[in-house]
Amino acid sequence: MAEPANHKPTVAINYARQAEKLSLQAHDVDDDGTHDTTAVEARFITPMDPVIETANGGRLPAVPLNEALQLNKLRDEVNGVAAQPDSPGHEPGKTGHEESLDGASLNDHASKQSENPEAALRTAIPHSRTHPLFPELPLYGPPSLMRDLQCLVFRCTSAVLSLAFLGVIVLGAAFTSIPLMFRHIGIRLMCRDPDARRPFYEEEKKRMKIRKDEQRAWKRQRRRGRRVSKVTHDNEEEGHSADEYEPMEGGRDPLVCDVRYYARRVGLDMEEYKVQTEDGYIIDLWHIYNPKEYTPAPDSHRKQRDPVVFPKSEDKGSFMRTSNAGRKYPVLLIHGLLQSAGAYCANDDDSLAFFLAKSGYDVWLGNNRCGFKPQHQLLSYKDPRMWNWNIRQMGVMDLPALISRVLFETGFEKLGLVCHSQGTTETFVALAKEQRPDLGNKISVFCALAPAVYAGPLIGKMYLKFMRIISPGMFRIMFGIHAFIPFMMTMHSWLPGRLYGALGYRVFSFLFNWTDDRWDQGLRDRFFQFAPVYVSAESMRWWLGRECFATQKCILATREENQHEDEEDQEEDYYHRSAEHSSEHMLHIADNTEDPERGRKAWYDDQVPPFALWVAGSDALVDGRRLLRRFERKREPHVRVVHSKIIGEYEHLDVLWAMDSVDKVGKEVREVLWKTVPKEDRDTCKVPRDCDGVRPWEG
């Protein structure tokens, strides 16, 4: 049947309008086309995560699925093609025909494909069962008078209301501190030291004396122009000579937000890489190294590369710059919510990053998008599209980009991944079989510290419940559509380090019910120099708003699915508690735990890497025990747990900052990382300290 004469011009006009709606700027074509940021196509990172590619090769963040599909459909019609071969940036196996499906027919198409066993796999779009947990993001479009006015309104309302909300939190923290203050005064009036009740009181005094000795030695020897050797103490790792790691910074701690400064205080150093995600964000990757063994890369090499992950190029990165130390196995550390990777570097030699580096690993610290300095290939701070992301984009875009760059720089096929809190969340999301499961082939082991998968009792607190009961529209009026309470970052830059550290501790303690009982109190103010960072209001809405985590109480399952799990567990527990386990009862339990239906409901497929979990037993923020129970009850048949531990007295941040965290977490992480290293890498890598007798894990 012949097409109407005016069909192609109409399609071309519709394509131009759709492209303009998704472009950086309206009518944005310069004379030579080199800076043309008009949208030309949608590239699918996953079947549910399209990003926009512009005419000049730039990337714009995710847009609603229907809008992306419509753009590609019109593009194909204009070009007169029914299907387009795979191109860089598309999901493997995804064709132009699939991208041309409109949103209304997406589920119908998937349903028809599943009913037809002979349908080509290349044209099958998997239906995302977890999609209700990740509502589509809004579409803001290019700047216009109306859009800019709306943004201004949101900025004004959120500036007032979010500041009022922050004020209430600060006042709440202040009032709850009053009883504690009077209790301390009472103890001192009785001529006793209130800190004597702290579990590491004697060790804290010892470390405080060592730090003072080091400060005096640094000042005295610097005045004489001599090198400064680190003062040894009882807790220092065996095997380190006094001058093996010579400090390059010292004296009184100025409390700065600078990882390199704290690395140099313990005889290490840091270089910063810029990494571009597949949706155009520029994020920070920090490399911790021993300056006696490694030559830093030139500045030009550390700039961001193309937004393509895991390139097939034979070109290698900077791993050839290692000297006689030999190859070291790479480890990537990812931080938690409202933090930066500096959280791994604030505890002197007991910092997990420095401990692993001195143990013989090649340590890399990954930061999520925006962080301390929001950067994007095309977008500016004021553009609402800069902040249009949540945990899904962090897992699907940020994590692969960071892993890809580390593997490129080191020349390895896999790395060890260590995450804390929200870092574990984005990893659990990214590895899900309906997100980006192939990422598991790049990870030798996933070490999850205080894993944030299920919500803890803290989610029911009044101020968090308030954020859950207000509507999405009201949430945006209160907290905006840009950065979440950016005044927190302003306070960070205005206040002196010690005042900011003390205030930060009181506020976060009030919000999240943790204490500093197990931390080195002399370093507490330093811990909070690396928090908070810029996060999007949309991301906080995912955590605390009415649709997602706070309501579902899980990152990958709905509340109804969780209730069904609870009923199954109660039934199984009933049989386990029976006085006599007859063969019928045992058969019931075996049949229930090996039910194929459980495999179909599993979050992960056979590409998932081994897991190791350290659960804080006194953590009110997340429920790690429930996650362990999910694995123990065989709900994830493909998950192999190589290590699990519940530390009963630990709170959420103790896995990083407790004075005994090296003994209870760090040494075990070091061992787990090494025993899961692929055999071909074990034969060529330097053996980490105290890992000579560690046998490889037989997975």
Give me the pLDDT at residue 231, please.
Answer: 52
184 is catalytic: no
Helix (H) / strand (E) element for 642: namely strand 641-647
Distances (CA, A) of 388 to 309, 384, 522, 549, 555: 21, 6, 39, 18, 19
User: Which residue positions in the chain have pLDDT lower than 50?
Assistant: 83-130, 232-238, 320, 323-324, 586-590
pLDDT digits (tens, 9 = 90+) for 84-140: 444 333 343 343 333 333 333 333 433 333 333 333 333 333 343 445 789 889 999
Q: Which two tokens stand for residue 318?
A: 């900077």
Selecting among 253, 349, 520, 619, the annotated active-site residue is 619
652 is catalytic: yes
Cβ–Cβ under 8 Å, residues 527 and 501? yes
Q: How far apart are CA 186 and CA 168, in angstroms?
A: 28
Selecting among 421, 444, 536, 661, the annotated active-site residue is 421
Helix (H) / strand (E) element for 531: namely none
Q: Which of these, 466, 621, 477, 492, lies nearest to 537 by C-alpha position?
A: 477
Give me the pLDDT at residue 578, please.
Answer: 63
Q: Walk across the sheet containing 362-366 and list its strands.
A: 269-276, 282-289, 362-366, 330-334, 415-420, 443-449, 611-616, 641-647
Selecting among 383, 652, 654, 660, the annotated active-site residue is 652
Map tokens 């997975």 to a residue: 699
Q: How far apart are CA 388 and CA 385, in angstroms?
A: 5
Please state whether beta strands 641-647 and 282-289 pair in parallel, antiparallel, or not at all (unpaired): unpaired
Q: How far apart are CA 290 and CA 566, in angstroms?
A: 49
CATH 3.40.50.1820 fits 134-197+253-306+318-557+603-699, yes or no: yes
Amino acid code (one letter) for 404: S
Going from N- to C-terminal start, the domains of the chain cover 7-127, 134-197+253-306+318-557+603-699
Cβ–Cβ under 8 Å, residues 374 and 23? no
Asked whether the bond before 532 is cis by omega within 30 degrees of 0, the reply is: yes
> Could you tell me the sign of the dihedral formed by the alpha carbons of 448, 452, 453, 458, in that order?
positive
> Could you tell me the sign of the dihedral formed by the alpha carbons of 206, 210, 216, 219, in that order?
negative
Q: Which of these, 558, 503, 494, 559, lies nearest to 528 by C-alpha position?
A: 503
Q: Which two tokens stand for residue 415?
A: 């790395």
Q: Which two tokens stand for residue 383?
A: 């553009």
> In angstroms, what is the C-alpha Rg of the chain?
27
Give me the pLDDT at residue 55, please.
Answer: 93
Give me the pLDDT at residue 672, please.
Answer: 98
Beta bridge partners of 327: 685
Q: How far apart are CA 527 and CA 515, in angstroms?
A: 13
Give me the pLDDT at residue 94, please.
Answer: 41
Please state whether beta strands 282-289 and 362-366 pair in parallel, antiparallel, or not at all (unpaired): antiparallel
Distances (CA, A) of 424 to 97, 310, 335, 524, 648: 35, 21, 8, 24, 20
